[in-house]
Amino acid sequence: MENFEYIEPKTLTEVCQLLKKNEEAKIMAGGSSLIMLMKNNLVTPDHLINLKTVSGLDNITYDSKNGARIGALATHQEVIDSPVIREYYPLLAEAGLKIASVGIRNQGTIGGNICHADPAADFPPALIALNATLEIVNPEGQRTMPVEALFIDYLESSLAHDEVLAEIQIPAPLPRTGWSFMELNKTSNSVAVVSVAAVISLESDGKCRQTNLVLGSAGMTPIKVEKATGILVGQKVSPELIEKVAMEAQGISKPISNVYGSAEYKREMVRVLSSRALKQAISRAEAISS
């Protein structure tokens, strides 16, 4: 590991200014991914900026009008254990439970999990399915964007060097909303071979009001199955329509062959998990209305 200067800023404005001044600087949240990269000399920052000294970045709040706000420094375990998340966004808690070990979940942060831009990460597909947005701070002010807009390529995000993720915002859930997070992995809490997040909201007559289906580990970035909306919304969801969406998910997936399985195998698992996740989400939505 190369030598670096360690800095403890007090505000996000200070963080952004430090990043703008030092092109080789890196910010550290929980450090579970960054430190491993540094130990292997895959990244060699000359300045390491610790976000943990900026207060208020680990809060999790909720109100019925604006939904949830999750600070970027909230740890995986804090997200999982949050009464707000468990009551209103159980999909996110379920996704968090798939992350590594208890030790890593207590160290790693939701912001770090997102900004690392690993296509196998568990939180991004769930957040995209929940229509979450990101609040980004930079030297000129701030901006917001959908979670899916963050991901460019493998381990590559759309954040500028002098930008920092401050919080994740999730709209309040619609009535009669069901969810499902399914993941295929070789061992418990190992890297996802394929993951699928599904959210579906039903009208009072049982027809689909809104839906999202998002794939993880099925390409270089999370993949939102955009056509799921056109296929399901306004329809009484049937096994035939579910299979149509699952086939669409399979068709747009772009997995690669590796030690976890061939691309062909992964595409088939995308279809299988998409079908199962949609069925479970619909079943949960129907149970709320009964």
**Tokens encoding 21:** 């001044």
Q: Are residues 67 and 48 in the same domain?
A: no
pLDDT at 175: 95
CATH code of the domain in which 122 resides: 3.30.465.10
Would you list the DSSP string of 86-127? HHH-HHHHHHHTTSS-HHHHHH-BHHHHHHTT-TT-SHHHHH
| Distances 70 to 9, 21, 128, 134, 155 between C-alpha atoms, Å | 21, 28, 14, 10, 22
Within this chain, do residues 217 and 150 fall inside the same structural domain, yes or no? no
Residue 30 pLDDT: 80
Please provide the size of the chain in residues: 290
Dist CA 186 CA 189 (whole Å): 9
CB 254 within 8 A of CB 119: no
CATH of residue 14's domain is 3.30.43.10
> What is the identity of the amino acid at 235?
Q
pTM check: above 0.75: yes
User: How many DSSP H helices and E strands does the chain contain?
Assistant: 11, 14
With vertex at residue 182, the alpha carbon angle to CA 176 and CA 188, rounded to the nearest 5 degrees, is 140
Residues contacting residue 134 through CB under 8 Å, at least 6 positions apart: 114, 144, 145, 146, 147, 150, 165, 167, 168, 169
Residues 95 and 14 occupy one common structural domain: no
Please check whether residues 32 and 80 belong to one and the same domain.
Answer: no
* Structure confidence at residue 42 (pLDDT): 78
Residue 272's domain comprises 177-289
Q: Which H or E run contains 28? A: strand 26-28
3-state secondary structure 160-200: CCCCEEEEEEECCCCCCEEEEEEEEECCCCCCEEEEEEEEE
Determine the pLDDT at residue 189.
Answer: 65
State the pLDDT at residue 276. Answer: 98
Residues 251, 210, single domain; the answer is yes
- 136, 170, 204 - which closes a domain: 170
152 shares its domain with 235: no
Residues 186 and 251 in one domain: yes
**Which mean pLDDT values do the consecutive 10-residue runs of the chain (290 residues) have?**
87 94 89 80 86 94 97 97 98 94 90 93 97 96 97 96 97 97 83 96 96 97 98 97 98 95 97 98 88
Q: From its phi and psi, is residue 103 left (phi > 0), alpha (psi between -120 and 50) or beta?
A: alpha
Boundary (domain end) residue, out of 18, 37, 53? 53
Q: Domains in the chain: how many in total?
A: 3
- Cα–Cα–Cα angle for 83, 148, 200, nearest 5°? 55
